[in-house]
Amino acid sequence: MSVQLFVPTFRIDECLEEIRECLEKGWTGLGFKTIQFEDEWKKYTGLENAHFLNSATVGLNLAVKILKMENDWNEEDEIISTPLTFISSNHAIAYEGMKVVFADVDQHLCLDPADVERKITDKTKAVLFVGIGGNTGQYLKIVELCKKYNLKLILDAAHMAGTRLNGQIPGKEADVVVYSFQAVKNLPTADSGMICFKEKQYDELCRKLTWLGINKDTYARSTDKGAYKWKYDVEYVGYKYHGNSIMAAIGLVQLRYLDQDNAYRRQLAKWYDDRFKQHSNLIGTIKPAEDCESSRHLYIIEVNNRDELLLALNECEIYPGVHYRDNTEYRMYAYGKGTCPNSHRLSERIMSLPMHLKMNKQDVDYICDKVIEYSSF
């Protein structure tokens, strides 16, 4: 029995039906389904703006770029972020020539507000908060810090599709929220993302930047009448970052099932929890924060012999992952080495266990048996 870390689930017939409509209408690019998906995402989240993109990585890039442009930040200015994240979170800051300042993480693997406050200087312009695994951590304390010090807040919600905090989708408090719909996320397409700015003017600028700086996209021009629908202006040096209708068509179907799918993920997590709580001296589990209904994109444990355990589980055809390596271990961010001791310690000890909708309780029991068998004190 082989158990992979991630295996996406698609409602194939429904996805094909949505895609068929794109093909029949002859509109597979920007517009049509992308607009439908944006509208449905705004209804689902309660966020006022949403722009569909070809990945969450470009969304993070645009989040930093637009905030920098509109607030006159300089390249020597700083954004506080976590070292325990996928590298695209921190690359988004580096893309704009700004400095990543690393703050440590708490018991939820999210930013520790106390260390964030210690790292704030007169060059600090924003905080980038990563909801790792779908967890909200101490997000509301970070919100308060940003208000106190007049900092912008970027919420990297790549893992948070469907996460709720106190019954609400988090993000209305942030200046910008970025979601991922990459192939193995909770709402999987092939690859795509969504960027949700608080300010309408930033959303409008974003739409121009994602279409090469052109001030009227092809879908808008297709609805124009008269001889001048081809005539547009180019206001910025922009990018080809927008999403397309094929990916949006898949996303529309996946969104219908997101809460149902996340509920099953939480059931998988409960099965893991129930087995491991009897072995808390051997295996630590990373819990969601209080009042957080997590998307449970990840199920993370902490063990003493992580690397050896990974190899032992692979021999049993169980394929966990690690989320993530301490980013200060990478050459380009080595200047931050030693500044976040808890992140570094945990990055040597944490492991993500298989977590996907094709699993059942028998799979969870098998994995737990092997983790318990091969873990060491």
State the pLDDT confidence band at 220, using cuts at 50, 70 and 90: low
Other Cβ atoms within 10 Å of 221 Cβ, number: 15
**pLDDT > 70: percent of the chain:** 96
Given a cut of 90, whether residue 21 has pLDDT beyond it is: yes
Mean pLDDT of the chain: 96
Residue type, 262: N
Q: Is residue 7 part of a domain?
A: no
Q: Is residue 292 part of a domain?
A: yes
Q: Do 146 and 48 have their domain in common? A: yes
58 close to 90: Cβ distance less than 8 angstroms: no
Helix (H) / strand (E) containing 263 = helix 258-276
Q: Do 296 and 315 have their domain in common? A: yes
Closest CA to 152 of 208, 96, 107, 194: 96
Q: Which of 197, 222, 256 is the last residue of a domain?
A: 256
State the pLDDT confidence band at 377, using cuts at 50, 70 and 90: low
Q: Do 263 and 251 have their domain in common? A: no
Average pLDDT over residues 105-125: 98
C-alpha dist (Å) from residue 87 to 10, 82, 360 = 27, 10, 31
Q: Do 132 and 201 have their domain in common? A: yes
Average pLDDT over residues 142-149: 98
Whether omega before 324 lies within 30 degrees of 0, making that bond cis, reads yes
Given a cut of 90, whether residue 224 has pLDDT beyond it is: no
Name the residue with tokens 């893309």.
Answer: 95
**CATH number of the domain to which 38 belongs:** 3.40.640.10
53 close to 242: Cβ distance less than 8 angstroms: yes
pLDDT digits 0-9 by tens, 70-93: 999 999 999 999 999 999 999 999
Distance of CA 259 to the CA centre of its chain: 17
Instruction: Tell me which long-range contacts 174-178 makes (C-beta under 8 A, separation of at least 24).
Output: 174/129, 174/143, 174/198, 175/67, 175/126, 175/199, 175/202, 176/63, 176/66, 176/67, 176/152, 176/202, 177/47, 178/56, 178/59, 178/60, 178/63, 178/154
Q: What is the pLDDT of residue 219?
A: 60
Average pLDDT over residues 39-59: 98
191 close to 64: Cβ distance less than 8 angstroms: no
Q: Do 34 and 166 have their domain in common? A: yes
Residue type, 248: A
DSSP characters over 15-66: HHHHHHHHHHHT--SSSTHHHHHHHHHHHHH--S--EEES-HHHHHHHHHHH
- pTM of the predicted structure, to 2 decimals: 0.96
Q: Do 19 and 133 have their domain in common? A: yes
* Containing structural domain, residue 292: 258-374
- Total domain count for the chain? 2
Q: In this structure, what DSSP letter does residue 3 have? A: B
Cα Rg of the chain (Å, integer): 21
Q: Is residue 299 part of a domain?
A: yes
Q: Which of 256, 273, 305 is the last residue of a domain?
A: 256
**CATH number of the domain to which 320 belongs:** 3.90.1150.10
* Sequence-separated (6 or more) residues with CB below 8 Å from residue 203: 49, 51, 197
Closest CA to 175 of 326, 310, 47: 47
Name the residue with tokens 């580096």.
Answer: 94
Q: Do 186 and 328 have their domain in common? A: no
Q: Is residue 127 part of a domain?
A: yes
Q: What is the pLDDT of residue 225?
A: 57
Q: Is residue 48 part of a domain?
A: yes
User: Minimum mean pLDDT among 219-233, 244-258, 285-299, 317-331: which range?
Assistant: 219-233
121 close to 113: Cβ distance less than 8 angstroms: no
Q: Do 229 and 329 have their domain in common? A: no
272 close to 299: Cβ distance less than 8 angstroms: yes
Q: Do 57 and 96 have their domain in common? A: yes
pLDDT digits 0-9 by tens, 62-75: 999 999 999 999 99
Q: Do 314 and 195 have their domain in common? A: no
pLDDT digits 0-9 by tens, 173-192: 999 999 999 999 999 999 99
pLDDT digits 0-9 by tens, 263-309: 999 999 999 999 999 999 999 999 999 999 999 999 999 999 999 99
